[in-house]
Amino acid sequence: MDAPENRGALGPRKRGAAFSLLKRNRDFRLLFMAQVVSFAGDWFLFVALAGLVFSLTHSPALVAAVYASLTVPFAVFTFVGGPLADRLNRQMLMIAADVIRGLLCLGFFLIRNPSQVWMVYVLAGLVTALAAVFEPASMAAVPNLVDREDLATANIMAGATWGTMLAVGSAVGGLVVAAFGRGAGYAGDAVSFLFSASLVMQIHRPFSEPREPHHEHPGMFRATREAVQYARKDSRVLALLTVKGGFGLGGGVVALLPVLAFTVFKAGDRGTGILYAFRGFGVFIGPFLVRRWIDDDDLTALFWAISGAFVVYGLSYVFVPWMPTIYLAGLFVFVGHFGGGAQWTLSSYGLQIIVPDHIRGRIFAFDEGFITLTLAVSATVAGLISEVVDVRIVMLGLAGITLAYSVVWTVATRKVRRSLRPAVAEAAEAEAGSRPDRPEPR
């Protein structure tokens, strides 16, 4: 299936620098600020919860399960959130999700002893389920809140924002939790959600294109089936949908970083903050350094860049668990998530320019649901194995899985890459043909 009109080119003009976009576009600036405070609060919360569970149970599996509790519900409920984002008012969905999440975070103050640890997973799961409503609506809305030529910049900023707040939120969260207690992490996340809601409420631009008066709204299962059918008809979309999900197969290493900090480096909550801060800086840098691949009218370059990002991520985690100090381990975490941030930005941007608005929410719901599902499985299995096997060996195995998948994905998408080359050549010829003839130089 051909890409919709005006969505097939991958070459926005380069005038949309980040600062310029924030200055010119008030509505995107509000969404950007909402994401900044919300993401920062999320990592405050994770540092606090990982430390809480380890201090009460001393179980690597239960610590990894905290990460799983922040992914499994997302994988399940994203198939609800995606259709809702295509059916209901996206702005109102995001506001409601933020407010409820803010109130739920206050429940963590009730957890005091090992018999109450189950509440961590229930509350974290509910918060994550609401994120599965918020995120597809937010991702689907971005092309409607910015001009077409600013879309690449907006995507880079979204990826960089997540990475920056992961870095800042984790680092500051580790220090704050160590200094003021884990309650500061719970309160910080609650306030961040409520502040985010107040910012989203002020956005004026519509979050979606006008719907037809009698537009049919399919149910959840039919909507998901339609998204899958759409992807099967467009090999580019299908290939991009398998990027993040495959990345998640080895992503369980991220859930084991707190275990590494507590058991190998003996650094506690502060160590968790350090490793996740390095992860965040890598995610921040990655999207900016891959700008050249999302500024070109060549999808083939984008696909090769994704393959390279996979390799960088996998190779880095081969070294992380064997470093003699936590800071050297953090350096390799930084390099690994440079690759992770790059592949996320590249695959998301490709989907945004190819997929039309009326089904975009469902496609992004499937995309995010797939990676959260594979991440959850990877984290859960990795945590269980770490109960009986050295966590460093488990992390090495997960790095190997990532490297193997990078080869499989690259080989499996070779036909898609070949099919893109004629289209790029034809586009270049058409552009050249539209120019007036010029005399040859003497």
Question: What are the pLDDT digits (tens) for 80-131?
Answer: 877 788 788 888 999 999 999 999 999 999 998 999 999 999 999 898 888 8
CA distances from 220 to 19, 83, 94, 233 (A): 39, 6, 19, 20
Burial grade of 105 (CB within 10 A; 0-12, 13-18, 19 or more): buried
Answer whether residue 12 is part of any domain.
no
Answer whether residue 436 is part of any domain.
no
Residue among 311, 20, 4, 336 at smallest CA distance from 152: 20
The whole-number average pLDDT for the span 315-330 is: 95
Answer whether residue 1 is part of any domain.
no
Answer whether residue 437 is part of any domain.
no
CB within 8 A of 78, min separation 6: which ones?
Answer: 132, 135, 136, 365, 366, 368, 369, 372
Answer whether residue 2 is part of any domain.
no
Residue among 249, 234, 240, 364 at smallest CA distance from 305: 240
Which band of pLDDT confidence, cut at 50, 70 and 90, is reported for residue 163? low
Structure tokens at 100: 């409820």
Answer whether residue 368 is part of any domain.
yes
Question: What domain count does the chain have?
Answer: 1
The span from the CA of 357 to the CA of 85, in Å, is 11
Which band of pLDDT confidence, cut at 50, 70 and 90, is reported for residue 5? very low
Answer whether residue 30 is part of any domain.
yes
Which band of pLDDT confidence, cut at 50, 70 and 90, is reported for residue 331? very high
Domain that residue 297 falls in: 18-206+219-431
Answer whether residue 213 is part of any domain.
no
Residue among 1, 411, 418, 8 at smallest CA distance from 229: 1
Q: Which helix (H) or strand (E) holds 433?
A: helix 414-433
CATH of the domain at 201: 1.20.1250.20
Residues 70, 126, 132, 49: what is their CA dihedral angle, to the nearest 10 degrees?
Answer: -30
pTM above 0.85, yes or no: no
CA distances from 238 to 33, 123, 241 (A): 32, 34, 5
* Cβ 185 vs Cβ 170: under 8 Å: no
The span from the CA of 366 to the CA of 357, in Å, is 15
Query: Which of 43-52, 275-284, 356-365, 385-394 is predicted with the least confidence, judged by mean pLDDT?
Result: 356-365
Give the tens place of pLDDT for each residue, 171-200: 676 777 777 878 888 888 888 899 999 999
